[in-house]
Structure 1
Amino acid sequence: MLLRVVLCETDIRRLSIENTPQSVEELCEVLRANLSLRGGFILQFEDPAFKDQLTNLTDIRDLPEERATLKVLFTADAALSVSTLDTASLPSLSSGESDSQQWPDPFPIPQFSHDVELTLQEANRRYAKDGSVMVIPKGMKTDILDTLADSMSKISPYPERQHYENVAKALVEKHPSLKEPGSGKGWYGWFHSLKFKLGNYRQKLSAAGCPEVRVNKRIGEEAKGSRVKKSKKGEVHYCPDPPEGLSAEDMEGKRRMIEVEMLKKDLDHQRIEELMSATFSKRRKEIVGDQPLIGDVMTRWPAMFCERQVRAEFKRIVSTDLLESFLNGLDDLVPRLLEVYEAVTKSGKKPALKAILDCVKKDNTNERRRTAALLGLPHYLSEDPSDIIRMCDAHGESLAAAMKGMQLGLLIGYEGDNQDAFPEVFDVAVVVEENIVLHNFKDVPSSFTMLLGIIYCVTLEYPRAMKYSFEFLQKVVMKIKPDEASARVHGVRNKLLRYKL
């Protein structure tokens, strides 16, 4: 089957596939694998029944059998759209899924220019005959690196080390004549050349207006905040491109619609979800690029500050279900965490941690065990949580006084006497910059989950006083970028895995 695939006006590909896909979903996967597509998209085809006018492809049987023209329309991420009112029905992905798993493995090496392909074919034949590798002309190497950099940047302009290795390895496997005689692996020099080439290629992308690269290059009066770093916490969609066909004015209009919807007494959650999904690119550009104060974000995007939308936004950013991933990962670790906490306190060290464990002994329910594991984590890691996790009498001191100086954290309200390390919870609020952004949580684990979600949604740094605790929650509990843990967190994870219950 021969396909003409229109990605944009200046990028039209020819693709030949041996086996005809049996469904539209299967066709989408074929296009992702062969054309290195990322994010959500829908397909349109030239329909012979309507004089080759473009029509949405919903049934693979409508597609002409031998030759067809397809147009790819990128969306904010169609797979993340929620069609029901229950966020629990969000499709579940593996809790370990992160941006590294969006990278195809093995990497599909693209076609090079015709003269380079002819040269490589001849060189590969010589390699197969006598094992001789070719001396690569400078112009030919530049052509190869330019083509690879273009393909890689369409997946991510900021590949990680394993991604460069993946591409370099795939290159010499497809074209063994490109192996390096002085390298044990045969591709190590290509690895370094690709890193250097993509660094230069990002400058071209920035000049061309690529949002994810431009946001990292802001200088002078363009910048409202400090220089923005690239994605650090496993964000798959850190600063995505706008959906094709939606202008900045269109998305601003949809943003105003969200404000109107939020003023209604009976919220149309499905409508709000559709509008939030359509404006995802604009919202990320504002939050990542301009770094506004939390009050400004709440004013412009009021729909984002509810549990439903925090979960939906987190899934758009990381492609992982927030609540399911967090609680499942936590439940797997709670028994081991409590055991290692107990072992530490037997020596008389960490009295605050012992007080937390004593609370569990009084009431050994699953919720209390989860709470103890979370509240005890910073004490076990020798961190001070006093400015991030605060407790206050729900009917006592004013909220303003309780939140004073609180940049990020949880405010746990309780009723009655506070004799325990963690009393019966009345209400838990998520606080950012002395503003309550979420509240009415009746347990600590759920509120911790939403705090982590808000950090991703508003692109906040982990608080310095508990940076290892939050890193542990991300990389060990939720398994987002688990291979990039710091030495301290890596050591704790290994200890937990070796610990026998």
Structure 2
Amino acid sequence: MQMTFALRRKEIITSPSPVKEILGRWPALRLESQVCAEFQCITNQNLTNTFYAELDCHTAKTGKTADALAEFLRVHDLKDQHDVHTSRTTVLCALPVYLREDASKFFKTCTIEDDSEEPDVDSSVALLTVVRELPDIALQHNPEKISIILENEAVITGLQRLSDAFLLMFGLIYALDLSYPKEMANTFEFIQKVPLGLDDGKLKPRVLALKSDLLIHAQ
């Protein structure tokens, strides 16, 4: 895959094809290790290390900046056991709430009974979480599995943690030269420009406000 990187980038950028066709030609892009390797070739940055290091740095701060996040924090605090994975899930679900975005089309949930090998999801970009029972709030720390949906099809399935699924989704968007989902544009811009420090140009007002808030709490 490393030897064919230049050929693959030229093909993806100059001759856009459906995601299904691209992954059919380059099936290794369904693997976590290859998605991260592709991201590093594109950005010269280690996606996994940078993403998790920055996410964990802000875990204790992000949720304290708006009353709208109170319910997420309540669900988080009710858990009997907390670890880095539950904290990461809470932060990722809280980000679009803070940035005043409707994440319902991106963070999708279904029950085991509704799930199948080929989930029917009417969404161009989404994370589909499979649970035993539908929750009252879209925050699941222990799902049965999570699938990455691109162009209405599951391209990677069987993931166990939301943070891993989100990281791979971000990497695939870069690898396949896709646009961010419109309803989550601020959230993805924040991940790109603040934790990952990519293209750190002018920030949208809501993203800039969150960055400023985090800097205040870091002092």
Common fold by TM > 0.5: yes
**Structure 1 counterpart of 2:84:** 366
- Give 5+ residue unaligned stretches, structure 2: none
Inter-partner Cα distance in structure 2 for 1:425 and 1:318: 31
Distance of 2:62 and 2:204 partners within structure 1: 18
1:150-192 per-residue CA deviation (whole Å, 9 max, x = no partner) reads xxxxxxxxxxxxxxxxxxxxxxxxxxxxxxxxxxxxxxxxxxx
Relative to structure 1, is the Cα distance of residues 283 and 478 closer, same or farther in structure 2, using a 3 angstrom cutoff? same
2:102 corresponds to:
384
**Where does the alignment leave 5 or more consecutive residues of structure 1 unmatched?**
1-275
Q: Show the counterpart of 1:408.
A: 125
2:26 pairs with one of 301, 316, 322? 301
Q: Note closer, same or farther for the CA distance 1:386–1:432 as it changes in structure 2 (3 Å cut).
A: same
Retained in 2: the 8 A contact 1:406–1:434? Answer: yes
- The answer to whether the 8 Å contact 2:118/2:154 transfers is no
Across the two proteins, how many residue pairs are aligned to each other? Answer: 216
Equivalent residue number for residue 56 of structure 2: 331
CA RMSD of aligned residues (A): 1.9
Aligned to 2:156: 438
The residue number in structure 2 matching 1:467 is 185
Classify 1:388/1:419 alpha carbon distance in 2 versus 1 (closer, same or farther; 3 Å).
closer
Normalising by the residue count of structure 2, what TM-score does the alignment of the two structures yield?
0.91
Partners of 2:86 and 2:96 in 1: CA distance: 17
**How far apart are residue 495 of structure 1 and its match?**
1.6
CA–CA separation in structure 1 for the residues paired with 2:137 and 2:85: 16
Provide the rounded CA distance (Å) in 2 between the counterparts of 1:483 and 1:335: 26
Q: Which has the higher relative contact order, 1 or 2, with Cα contacts under 8 A spaced 6 or more apart?
A: 2
1:321 to 36, 46, 67: 46
Give, in whole Å, the separation in 2 of the partners of 1:354 and 1:403. Answer: 32
Q: Distance in 2 between matches of 1:401 and 1:355?
A: 32
Asked if the contact 1:377–1:469 (Cα under 8 Å) also holds between the matched residues in 2, the reply is yes
**1 CA distance for matches of 2:218 and 2:57?**
13
Shift of 1:365: 2.7
Query: Which residue is 1:357 aligned to?
Result: 73
Q: CA deviation at 1:284?
A: 0.6
> Which has more radius of gyration?
1
Alignment CA distance shift 1:400-1:465 (3 Å): farther
What is the TM-score with the length of structure 1 in the denominator? 0.41
Change (3 A) 1:366 1:391: same
1: CA distance, partners of 2:19 / 2:205 = 32
What are the superposed Cα offsets for residues 275-332 of structure 1, whole Å, 9 maximum, x if unpaired?
x111111111111111100111011111121101101111111111111111001011
Q: Distance in 2 between matches of 1:419 and 1:494?
A: 31
C-alpha distance in structure 2 between counterparts of 1:491 and 1:406, whole Å? 29
Q: Which residue of 2 aligns with 1:396?
A: 113
Return the match for 1:490 from 205, 208, 218. Answer: 208
Kept in 2, the 8 Å contact 1:390–1:410? The answer is yes
Q: Quote how far apart the aligned CAs of 1:402 are.
A: 5.4
